[in-house]
Amino acid sequence: MKNTDVKYLEPHILSFLNNEKAMNTLHDIRRGIERELIRTTPESRISNLPHPEELGSALTHPYITTDFAEAQLELVTPAMKERKTTFDSLASLHHFVATRLPDNEIMWGASMPPELPSDDEIKIAAYGTSNAGLHKVRYREGLANRYGKRMQLISGIHYNFSLPDSFWEILHSHIGSELSLNDFISERYFHLIRNVLRNGWIIPYLFGASPAVDKSYLINQEHALNLLDDETYYLPWATSLRLSNMGYSSNEQSFYPTSFNSKQEYLADLCHALTTPSERYTHLNGDQQLNASVLQLENELYGSVRPKIVSEQLRSLYAMCHHGIQYIELRSLDNNPLLPLGISEEQSYFLDAFLTYNALASSPELTDSERELIARRQELVATEGRKEGLLLPTLQGDRELKELGSTLYIINDASCVMVR
């Protein structure tokens, strides 16, 4: 990364960018990819067959599991430093699965679901009779009863990203932070997340790949989509229906906003949502969900980006409280059905540069009014992002999308970030 007329970075960060040792640490960025896919028949209908035994146990396999539905695969690469190794791993998982699917089954490459049957015929993922397996099933039954099975079948790509400890150590020293290194790293990840929320509209604008949906997804839904053909509805300027209000979203959670201004505020808000009964869900019986709280588990929290930590001993809320943040999960990426893996290495270069910039750029705390503005901006880009002259709301008033985008230049070779 080289410093070339970077106007939206603070002076101490500009001098940090000129530190060759600091920049060399970026070779050790770790990235991992999770891709969700649906097993379908040749007629593009969701499969009604169980998870193939040849793929291993969906409960315990570290790299091949299921998401919400029995027919919804999730392929998970380890977090690795070498970009090519990450993509080779994802390609190997695809090949392994493709050669072990039942005859005539294929992997659906798009984010919005294929033709869907009635809800009763959509099978929730099964994980056996162990306590852990039954717990996962009950959680998914809660998702089905709260949000409907169709929404849960929307698939996407999650991009897991972490900057190396050596990077944080140098930045910690360079800034002269009085926080412990562990607390400093956590706070800088929340710093990154706030900027991803502000600038994240560019992800669906550049990489959105779900402007249309099968009509079976819209059963019993009011919508303003246009009819494309006998089977398909769409919006003419849409980039990502998956990220729109008719996609993967929760109205109930919007009444319990989660702060990303600090680790303490985030954990307090998350704990509140995990322990506060929701009037919308208290009518559900104990065998229809894990509990009646706004969130059954931490994973139920929707959003385009999450702080994350890996812990086998502690649930994530407690692990994050004691050990801080290890990485972030970017969740706003559509499956690109025109790419064999749904995502390309070129796209990964952009994402690394984008996320690194957001870790370094100025990141004031988010106010309630800015959060509302960010939500409106994402909805506009998701539903009208390709419309010429589209205006997006900002704290300084509406600005044309192209004008707003011109303030953010990210040179996509992972060696330079420039903002004008």
Summarize pLDDT for 241-264 with one digit per residue, the tens.
999 999 988 888 888 999 999 999
At 406 the pLDDT is: 83
pLDDT class of 312 with cuts at 50, 70, 90 = confident
Q: Are strands 30-40 and 226-229 parallel, antiparallel or unpaired?
A: unpaired
* C-alpha to C-alpha distance for 80 and 46, rounded to whole angstroms: 32
* C-alpha to C-alpha distance for 201 and 114, rounded to whole angstroms: 26
* C-alpha to C-alpha distance for 63 and 84, rounded to whole angstroms: 17
At 385 the pLDDT is: 97
Asked if residue 226 lies in contact with residue 237, where contact means CB atoms within 8 angstroms, the answer is: no
At 416 the pLDDT is: 45
Does the pLDDT at position 1 exceed 70?
no
pLDDT class of 288 with cuts at 50, 70, 90 = very high
End-to-end CA, the chain: 15
Find where tokens 């007629």 sit: 43
The percentage of the chain sitting over the pLDDT mark of 90, rounded to a whole number, equals: 84
Copy the structure tokens of residue 262: 């600090």
* C-alpha to C-alpha distance for 14 and 17, rounded to whole angstroms: 5
103-113 core/surface letters (b: 16 or more CB in 10 A; e: else): eebbbbbbbbb
pLDDT, tens digit (0-9, with 9 covering 90-100), for 345-386:
999 999 999 999 999 989 999 999 999 999 999 999 999 999
pLDDT class of 12 with cuts at 50, 70, 90 = confident
At 8 the pLDDT is: 61
pLDDT, tens digit (0-9, with 9 covering 90-100), for 99-150:
999 988 999 999 999 999 999 999 999 999 999 999 999 999 999 999 999 9
210-235 average pLDDT score: 95
Give alpha helix (H) positions in 115-228: 131-147, 149-152, 165-175, 181-199, 202-207
The identity of residue 266, as a single letter, is Y
DSSP at 347: H
* C-alpha to C-alpha distance for 24 and 7, rounded to whole angstroms: 22
Copy the structure tokens of residue 110: 């798009």
Query: 11-406: which CATH topology?
Result: Creatine Kinase; Chain A, domain 2 (3.30.590)
3-9 average pLDDT score: 50
Q: In degrees rounded to 5, what are phi and psi of residue 406?
A: -70, -15
Residue 236 CA neighbour count, 13 Å, CB half: 3
